[in-house]
């Protein structure tokens, strides 16, 4: 926002929120009506970079000022059941699923869907948290022991475990005037349910598949009257695309756009919610993004690479926590492969970069 001359005021529940490094911070609880009212009076537009802002808070703010994306879109994207129902209604198939409210539902759902399957919380899960993978029906007790307690507060959903060929995301932006753009498809690799590596443009994607993915993203955005950046996570199974989830915000699989595209997802999100013209989503070449999970490695190997970029979020190290990322950019796939292999070796992260190195080879 800052280069566009836009000043920001960030609300967060904790005084050491990262945003405080670059913006004025309002420390307030999401349910603190008085604080929210005072905040709304000071701003022209409210948006969020975190999908678990309570929809009721977004509703309240929408009664006081402009909120983009709209609270209805936020609430659909917060609930895996509503989200998957919308995908199917929009013509995007999904893994088979069943809502689960109690243990009997789980037994019935496993009987119908079969195993392997994944039991997930409908709401508040992220980075693979709030999920239990059932290898066989014998895992029902373990799954219920792990997540049964959450059924009452956040709801559960059982999904068929899809043996997908690959994972892609569409990072897209829709303006207040309905203008719609996407960055090229991104190929993603997860480890233990957490994004580890992204590559864009996704190599080996047919035009037909890309057009289908973009068209699904557009239909969903138009149905929700969505304004801002969002990501649609897709599984590719043969020639078919299945919708996994959508993130109603800038997305980790779009971080490469900061250096790899003419306009980053962050800038276009700000442009969209302010009603400014959207920026060019074209790329400068090929990009790979590596997530740093748990703690930050030594930055030197990445800083020494031409067009290598380092992002340290200033977060405390914690197992499983995303604390930063690096992006390597190159004019073409071949030179990206060379850089990525060299940086991976120097970082001691050959395993993390291997899927992209193999694919670019
Ligand atoms: P995010 O951090 O992307 O918000 P999340 O916690 O919401 O993650 P999902 O996106 O549902 O979780 O799942 C994380 C990853 O687990 C997926 O990207 C995919 O690799 C795997 N996964 C999830 N659901 C399925 C499924 N039904 N079949 C196969 N793999 C799956
Ligand atoms: Mg998610
Ligand atoms: Mg996901």
Peptide bond into 201 cis (omega under 30): yes
For ligand 1, pick from 191, 193, 237, 254 the residue to mutate: most ligand atoms within 8 Å of CB: 193
Q: Any known ligand binding at 31?
A: no
Q: Kindly state the DSSP code that residue 218 receives in the 8-state scheme.
A: H
- Among candidate residues 213, 216, 188, the one with its CA nearest the CA of residue 291: 188
Q: Any known ligand binding at 130?
A: yes
The pLDDT of residue 175 is 98
Angle between helices 207-224 and 80-89 (to 10 degrees): 110
Does the CB atom of residue 193 touch ligand 1 within 6 A? Answer: yes
Residue 285 phi, psi (nearest 5): 160, -140
Residues with CB under 5 A from ligand 2 (ion): 245
CA 244 to ligand 1 center in whole angstroms: 7
Question: pLDDT tens digits, residue range 184-242?
Answer: 999 999 998 899 999 999 998 999 999 999 999 999 999 999 999 999 999 999 999 99
CA 132 to ligand 3 center in whole angstroms: 14
pLDDT bracket for residue 337 (50, 70, 90) = very high
Task: Please list, in sequence order, all residues whose beta carbon lies within 8 angstroms of the beta carbon of residue 97, skipping any fewer than 6 positions away.
Answer: 80, 81, 84, 113, 157, 158, 159, 160
For ligand 1, pick from 190, 195, 252 the residue to mutate: most ligand atoms within 8 Å of CB: 190
Q: Any known ligand binding at 251?
A: no
Report ipTM for this prediction. Answer: 0.98
Q: Any known ligand binding at 313?
A: no
CA 50 to ligand 2 center in whole angstroms: 11
Q: Is pLDDT at 20 greater than 90 in this prediction?
A: no
Query: What pTM was computed for the model?
Result: 0.96
The pLDDT of residue 128 is 84
Is the separation of the CB atoms in 184 and 202 below 8 Å? yes
Ligand 1: residue whose CA is nearest its atom 19: 193
Mean pLDDT to the nearest integer, 138-161: 96
pLDDT bracket for residue 255 (50, 70, 90) = very high
- Bridge pairing between strands 194-200 and 186-191: antiparallel
pLDDT bracket for residue 19 (50, 70, 90) = confident
- Among candidate residues 15, 62, 55, the one with its CA nearest the CA of residue 40: 62
The pLDDT of residue 18 is 83
The pLDDT of residue 144 is 97
For ligand 1, pick from 83, 100, 128 the residue to mutate: most ligand atoms within 8 Å of CB: 128
For residues 122 and 156, what is the distance between their CA atoms, to the nearest angstrom?
5
pLDDT bracket for residue 318 (50, 70, 90) = very high
Is the separation of the CB atoms in 83 and 248 below 8 Å? no
Does the CB atom of residue 288 touch ligand 1 within 6 A? Answer: no
Ligand 1: residue whose CA is nearest its atom 12: 128
CA 234 to ligand 1 center in whole angstroms: 10
Does the CB atom of residue 83 touch ligand 1 within 6 A? Answer: no
Q: Any known ligand binding at 131?
A: yes
pLDDT bracket for residue 21 (50, 70, 90) = confident
Q: Any known ligand binding at 76?
A: no
Give percent of the chain above pLDDT 70: 100
CA 62 to ligand 3 center in whole angstroms: 27
The CA distances from residue 29 to 1, 13, 134, in Å, are 24, 5, 36
Pure H helices in the chain? 33-42, 55-62, 71-77, 80-89, 103-113, 140-147, 151-154, 207-224, 257-260, 265-274, 300-303, 333-347, 350-360
Q: Any known ligand binding at 37?
A: no
Ligand 1: residue whose CA is nearest its atom 21: 193
Does the CB atom of residue 51 touch ligand 1 within 6 A? Answer: no
The pLDDT of residue 200 is 98
pLDDT bracket for residue 107 (50, 70, 90) = very high
pLDDT bracket for residue 70 (50, 70, 90) = very high
Domains of the chain listed by start with CATH number: 2-68 (3.40.50.20), 96-160 (3.30.1490.20), 166-360 (3.30.470.20)
């Amino acid at each position: 926002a800052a280069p566009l001359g836009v000043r920001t005021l960030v609300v967060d529940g904790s005084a050491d929120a990262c945003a405080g490094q670059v913006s004025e911070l309002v420390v307030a609880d999401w349910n603190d009506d008085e604080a929210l009212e005072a905040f709304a009076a000071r701003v022209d537009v409210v948006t969020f970079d975190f999908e678990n802002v309570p929809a009721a808070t977004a509703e309240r703010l929408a009664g006081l000022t402009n909120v983009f994306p709209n609270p209805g879109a936020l609430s659909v994207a917060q609930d895996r059941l509503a989200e998957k129902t919308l995908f199917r209604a929009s013509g995007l198939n999904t893994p088979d699923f069943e809502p689960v409210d109690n243990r009997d539902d789980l037994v019935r759902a496993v009987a119908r869907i079969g195993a392997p399957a994944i039991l997930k919380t409908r709401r508040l899960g992220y980075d693979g948290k709030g999920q239990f993978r059932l290898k066989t029906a014998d895992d029902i007790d373990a799954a219920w022991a792990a997540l049964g307690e959450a059924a009452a507060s956040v709801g559960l959903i059982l999904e068929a475990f899809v043996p997908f060929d690959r994972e892609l995301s569409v990072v897209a932006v829709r303006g207040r005037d309905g203008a719609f753009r996407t960055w090229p498809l991104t190929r993603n690799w997860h480890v233990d349910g957490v994004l580890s590596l992204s590559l864009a443009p996704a190599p080996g994607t047919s035009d037909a598949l890309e057009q289908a993915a973009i068209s699904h993203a557009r239909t969903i955005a138009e149905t929700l009257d969505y304004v801002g950046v969002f990501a649609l996570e897709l599984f590719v199974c043969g020639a078919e695309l299945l919708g996994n989830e959508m993130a109603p915000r800038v997305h980790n699989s779009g971080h490469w756009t900061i250096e790899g595209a003419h306009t980053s997802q962050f800038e276009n999100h700000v442009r969209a919610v302010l009603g400014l013209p959207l920026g060019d989503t074209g790329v400068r070449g090929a990009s790979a993004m590596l997530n740093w999970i748990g703690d930050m490695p030594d930055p030197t190997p990445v800083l020494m690479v031409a067009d290598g970029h380092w992002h340290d979020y200033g977060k405390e190290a914690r197992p499983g926590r995303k604390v930063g990322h690096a992006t390597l950019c190159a004019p073409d796939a071949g030179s990206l492969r060379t850089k990525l292999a060299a940086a991976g070796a120097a970082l001691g992260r050959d395993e993390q970069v291997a899927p992209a190195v193999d694919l670019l080879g």
